[in-house]
Structure 1
Amino acid sequence: MARSQAQDIIRCQYCEDEPAVFHCVPCGDELCPRCKVFHLKSKVPSGHNIVRLSERLHPTNQIKMCYFHTSKAYEACCKDCQVPVCITCIKEVHGEHTIGEILDLYEKQKTETAEELTKMKTQLKSEIIQRIKDFKRGENEIKSGHENVREKMKKQAQDLIDHIRVILKEALQESEKDERKNREEISQHKAEADKFEQNLDQMIEKFETLTESSHPAELILFRKQNPGIFQQLKLPDKLNIVMPSFTVGQIKKSQNEQQFGKFMTGDVKHVKSLVKSSQSKRPTLPAKRNTSNKTVLGRSDKISETKPQKRELYHLSCRDERSAYISGKGPGIQLIDRSGTELDNISTDDQPDGLAVMQDGSLIYSDFFDQVIYRVSLNKQKTKLINTEYYATGLCCTRSGDILVCMAETLFHTARVVRYSSSGRKTQEFQTDQTGESLFMNPKFVCENINDDICVSDWKLCKVVVLNKVGGLRFKYDGNVPSRRLKATFNPRWVATDSLGHILIADRDNDAVHLISQDGNFLSYILTEDDGISRPWGISVDTSDNLWMVEQDKACVKVYQYLS
């Protein structure tokens, strides 16, 4: 394009002398009147379209190449599809459609666009300006409102702090008073025990002298003068120490106990001790298992496999090394042995949500919707042991005879684990950690470890939460270990422990059983899908450290040896 250096005048592209007056749209050339004549004589495939230079930038005089056929220009429009088309588009796609002038569609769309543009400039523009003003005003109002609320919060918090200080002072004083009382009582019994030990040492020394260095007559005379001296020895009473506890309460200013928590006093219970005479027959005690040399096998050995008459199995609790209680979909609990033989059948109104065997061999199970824990004695008499405040699921009977229960309110708003005595009296609640944060979201299964730790499987949290015996958080295990890539989210079911303090976890969705230490360190997968297990749910370790397991969908009961 030729331009004058002195003036911004477009010159003819051919002669470069005369000012350009015309523009050829297909060729893009600028022409003077004389060169226009010669330009029209040249032959081009698309023909010439000469317009005045002032009109060359009008949209109708510009060339737009087809999106689908880049070497062809849009020359018409399809009225059916409302799109511009080139010659090739018409041949390949729009041959049977109504074809019209592109300018007609352009003018129609231009008119509609102009109307929308007017609405944008008038209606929408003014509306958005007003809304922006409203938003700014709203920001100022929110800021002012929150400042007022925060001032009220600070004042309320200060009132609450003052209130809690009073409660704390009273609670600490009560604890100190109870501690003094307990210690004084223990001190009295210790003094009695010290005195008994002194008398006993003197008697031992006397007996040794009479039997080793004295004349035979002295022993005979002493025994004659002091008949039945051994039977007369009475040991001081034992002391069963009940630890004090503290249940975190809900913050309600109207109720001090719920606002701060309820202090449960400790107690010193007397357990009478009787010294049996030398002629009395000693009770036979169960032999302790020798666990010092036990190690985890590289591969678990299947001992037995059976399939009871159940559609699905969920829960399992070993009664001893030969039998276990199982339950699944629908009412009823079965007692079976390793071969699958039904030893007993306990009818229930609803599907149980937790099973556990007590120290005397009786069975307890939870009824979720009735909020009741039932006890079934050895002669099959069923009684209501505990009416729970919330919906009860998993159960565990501890070595001390207590009962641990997983609980939640409706929709699991306040999940917790509650400890009851064997008679059904609530003694502890575990709901929050040391910082006041909730420990659980939906606890389902619970067991006790050899160090008195409380191991809880939480479905919704997707973790195993482990507490010490007074409710302090020790650790949370999330199942994500580098040694194996999980195919699904870790969502633990039953948990169990063995004589070495291992924690076993049924990982249903990953077809595995995890083995971790009592401190939360991953040790191994003692069972995986490579061992042929599928969707493990309930697990229990018997008195010989064999693992019993139920598979949910297959409704199988399998027993494995994983320690040697």
Structure 2
Amino acid sequence: MARSQAQDVIRCQYCEDEPAVFHCVPCGDELCPRCKVFHLKSKVPSGHNIVRLSEKLHPTNQVKMCVVHSYKAYEACCEDCQVPVCIACIQEVHGKHTIGKLKDLYERQKAESEHELTKMKGQYKSEIIQRIKYFKNGEREIKTSHKNIREKMKKQAQDFIDHISAILTEALDESTRDEREKLMEISQYRAEAEIFEQNLEQLIEKFETLTESSHPADLILYRKQNPDTFKRFKFPFKINLTLPSYTIGHINKTQNEHQFGKFIRGHISHLTLWDDSLQAKYLTGFERVKPSTKKVSGRSLKISETKTQKGELYHVSCRDDRSAFVSGQGPGIQLIDRSGTELDKISTDWEPAGLAVMKDGSLIYSDYDNKIIYKVSLKKQKKIFINTDYGPTGLCCTKSGDILVCMHEILFSVVKYNSSGRKIQEFETDQNGRRLFHGPWSVCENINDDICLSDFSIFNRVVVLTKSGNFRFTYDGNVLKQKLKDRFNPRSLATDSLGHILIADNVNNAIHLISQDGDFLSYILTEDDGISLPHGISVDTNDNLWMVEENACVKVYQYLS
């Protein structure tokens, strides 16, 4: 082992006896300390640059010829231009600039490059992988959506064919019945006319005989015995025949399009692949959303608190940043401002199971017992908006104007209706046929079109779906269990302009704040902030949180700054 190590020692190229300790960069010679002195006395055009042998392989100690003066090596750097230079470069161009050590500039550039390399390997690569995954998911969802749409179109067309066939069969049957009845009726008239014809032939024959070949006395006696022959001889009824007809219907192409169902194309906005920070969040489909300057405050600021005359409060839905509709135990809905002043009152026959404000400012509320969703216009005109198949609870109006409704019965589902109240979609199971939820209570739409709902059941969780109803993730409470005194108990949900999902945890007296991807961010309110049994929450147009408690309190908080 010692012999091997000895053989690995580099010897001085001059004396060949002593181990080499130094290296001359321009000459490429390996030197011992004694020969180094003699080597420095020799003159070379570029001069000597002696470094320790251990530094020989350092990038700055390797010879690199200038790209401008190929006969000169880089020996320094220009601090002003941030480029390596040779002696000729300094004389010709950089004479008045600050000249520094090539090694110093290299170390600075190396540190910055290593930092950027770390970002590229970590943040940048992770970001682009997520985007590619998102695009692939988008492609898959587009294909699935189009496949489902085409199947629906075929089914709709078959329904039309079946419907038209039923109409045709009924019309043909009616024509056949009418033909049979009219032929039977006219045959009776024909039979009477044929009998009349026979009697007439007999009478003609009788009169021909009496007038042509009989004795005159026979004619006189017959006329004497039958004086009213022609008066009693009446013709059968004459009929006025109106033939059946058929009026060809006219197809209204616009109405036909609405009957068949109107197809709406998807939209993909161009995405810039790289940006300066790669921190922008992609929040709505394939569209880029301008980042908000708002951020979550360290502590929520209470703006107002008021107590209503109503009993327990369960639901709140903001109309704007100054007023909100509230309801709770017993019938009736109030419109109040921040101070608790009642601005308006809407009477209901039953206790509302959910509230939502539509894009036009109308209020909709659900009647669970009667399976009805009512609509109240700005002029306070109330009407039945939707007759549902099951008991409706939580409601939400989407950005597109559609209505999301939580349904409770033997089976649980979330149903989407259009702004006219026509059912257009229903969510019950995931792609593998597993039930998505077991007790949907509250539903809202996030700014990226995700459907967020609280599954108030044996699971007690928040379930988030894509716009098309595909499963995204669940949230079952913060992992920091020591902050919670009881099991996660989600009731009402809300979202804000940053894509946060807010959750009212009724039992733990807390408002959870999670990201649009399901990551826990913070408790923006807890028992320490004086909240008790939060039930209904809503975020107004200015990103302030309105909360109703079961003790009839209405509180408004600012949690973004």
The TM-score with structure 2 as length reference comes to 0.50
Q: TM (normalized to structure 1)? A: 0.49
